[in-house]
Amino acid sequence: MLRKALSRALDPEMRVAPGLSPTNQWIVGLICFSILLGVMETEPRLTSGFEMAFAAAHLMLFGTFLLEYLARLYAAPENPRFGSSLRYAFTFASLVDLLVLLSFLMPFFGLEAALFRMIRAARLLRLARLGRYSLAIQLISRAIAERRHELGISIVVAAGLMLMSSTALYLAERGVQPEDFGSIPRAMWWSVATLTTVGYGDIVPVTILGRIFAALTAVTGIGLIALPTGILAGAFSDALRSIRETTGADRE
């Protein structure tokens, strides 16, 4: 009875009602809190004087996630897809949970765990995949899959344009600004900032020819950004229409 109750509370596949269970909703909240805690710890002014409080919070989260991990292992045999705790332990989801637990222990061994803490966000995606947001995730995946060729071409065009603009600015500015445009890889930083319409302004061309190339690059960058946006917008619309038609047909 306990194993079945834990399975229904922790495993979205074993839950009869739609959406996440209250237990998993609490877990999602704790995951968000742990990510926020990891982000805050990178700012010394926020942690100064509160080291003990942060340590206590990490200890509480570690204990909670450890109990959750053990409970999932215990309840795994209830799911026919796993059949045993050992088989579940080697699934991608279980390994992610284990990495999350290790990320709590790394600071005690003097290891930098800031990047590993972000692994906790992967657990949100895993729970959402089987929860109320599964339809949205399916829509995004379907749209990207259906337009993968068009998106691939746009990426190739973007890479080619970046290379061309970097080469042009290298030829026009290398004699005047050797530190910024003395090589094509150096000029690529300017090219990326310009083509994405970010325009940091830390590197600017000063020659007439360089400014002409820069103007052409900037104008082209507007269309470059709009290209994949339009492709994805059309794909989302088609995928959503298809899902609605399928859902309507099932209801009939």
The sign of the torsion formed by the CA atoms of 6, 11, 16, 17 equals positive
Cβ atoms 201, 214 nearer than 8 A = no
**Residues lower than pLDDT 50 in the chain:** 129, 131-132
**pLDDT tens, residue by residue, 196-217:** 888 888 889 999 999 999 999 9
The tokens of 228 are what?
């994949």
Cβ contact 167:189 at 8 Å:
no
Instruction: List pLDDT tens digits, range 1-33.
Output: 788 888 888 887 787 776 678 888 888 888 888
Answer for the pair 132, 24: CB distance below 8 angstroms, yes or no: no
Q: What is the pLDDT of residue 11?
A: 82
Tokens for 130?
A: 């089987």
82 contacts 88 by C-beta, under 8 angstroms: yes
Which domains are present in the chain?
2-131 (1.20.120), 145-251 (1.10.287.70)
Tell me, what's the pLDDT at 213? 93
HEC per residue, the chain: CHHHHHHHHHCHHHCCCCCCCHHHHHHHHHHHHHHHHHHHCCCHHHHCCCHHHHHHHHHHHHHHHHHHHHHHHHHHHHCCCCCCHHHHHCCHHHHHHHHHHHHHHHHHHCCCCHHHHCCHHHHHHHHHHHCCCHHHHHHHHHHHHHCHHHHHHHHHHHHHHHHHHHHHHHHHHCCCCHHHHCCHHHHHHHHHHHHCCCCCCCCCCCCHHHHHHHHHHHHHHHHHHHHHHHHHHHHHHHHHHHHHHHHHHHHC
